């Protein structure tokens, strides 16, 4: 009986110890990794309170997070720090409509992942979520030289100063200035820029090797007029010849 009681106690103790070990291991294991969260990334980096406020008020933060959950192309964000927004003229943000604020923040977002190495081969103009560059809307030009990444909007020129976050889905780069698009801050220049498109159907046809010489309408008129004059002169001479022949015939008779 004692042996059975000892054996039962041993089994019960082993089972309890194993259960406690499994519970402790489960508690220590990190939660499964999920898509990155732009809000969490910027909050952890610090110094991006103005950008975060604009992203939340325009609901663009939720839009980015949804794209990260449902897209395979990734996202690139150019993030101006608070001191970049402080460098804007007083009242700049307050003067914008809600729609313009949305476009301004979307202008800082590229709907594809651009790694640090890809800055050297990126094709310009870079398409942002603010508009379609195929129609000449919101063009953003990014170049890389000597390890420095330069960004031009047509209104401001700035550089990428730091990589805030980078993985296979999201890249966040700090920029020294707020990216101001021409469509909002210099609409006259944006309207004057030629939009890409097919060549006009009214373009002149090039003269081929088989094409004959062309004559202007005025020259054609002059030639026609000269021909009419020659016909009149010829008629007069024929008249004189006929009259002269008639007189000579009468004299001979």
Which stretches in the chain have pLDDT values below 50? Answer: 24-32, 197-229, 231-232, 237-238, 240, 242, 246-253
Instruction: Give residue 71's pLDDT.
Output: 80
Tokens 């690139």 locate to: 76
pTM over 0.85: no
Report the C-alpha gap between 140 and 156 in whole angstroms.
Answer: 11
Q: Which domains does the chain have, with CATH numbers?
A: 38-186 (2.30.180.10)
Task: State the pLDDT at residue 66.
Answer: 93
- CA distances, 198 to each of 46, 124, 129, 134, 160 (Å): 47, 19, 24, 12, 35
The helix, strand and coil proportions of the chain, stated in percent and rounded to the nearest 5, come to: 50, 15, 35
Number of residues in the chain:
253
CA dist 196 and 124 (Å) reads 13
Residue found by looking up tokens 């159907």 in the block: 201
Query: What pLDDT is attached to residue 239?
Result: 54
């Amino acid at each position: 009986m004692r042996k059975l009681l000892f054996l039962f106690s041993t089994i019960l103790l082993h089972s309890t110890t194993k259960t406690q070990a499994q519970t402790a291991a489960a508690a220590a294991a990190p939660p499964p990794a999920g898509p990155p969260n732009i809000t969490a990334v910027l909050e952890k980096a610090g110094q991006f309170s103005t950008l975060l406020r604009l992203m939340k008020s325009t609901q663009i933060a939720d839009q980015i997070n949804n794209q990260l959950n449902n897209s395979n192309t990734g996202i690139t964000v150019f993030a101006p720090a608070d001191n970049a927004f402080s460098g804007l003229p007083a009242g700049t943000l307050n003067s914008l409509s809600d729609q313009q604020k949305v476009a301004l923040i979307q202008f800082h977002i590229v709907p594809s992942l651009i790694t640090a190495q890809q800055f050297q081969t990126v094709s310009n103009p870079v398409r942002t979520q603010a508009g379609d560059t195929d129609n000449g809307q919101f063009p953003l030009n990014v170049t890389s030289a000597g390890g420095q990444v330069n960004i031009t909007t047509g209104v401001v020129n700035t550089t990428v100063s730091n990589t805030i976050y980078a993985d296979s889905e999201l890249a966040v780069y700090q920029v020294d200035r707020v990216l101001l698009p021409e469509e909002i801050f210099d609409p006259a220049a944006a309207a004057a820029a030629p939009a890409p498109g097919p060549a006009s159907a009214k373009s002149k046809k090039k003269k081929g090797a088989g094409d004959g010489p062309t004559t202007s309408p005025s020259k054609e008129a002059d030639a026609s007029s000269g021909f009419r004059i020659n016909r009149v002169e010829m008629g007069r001479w024929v008249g004189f010849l006929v009259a002269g022949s008639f007189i000579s015939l009468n004299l001979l008779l």
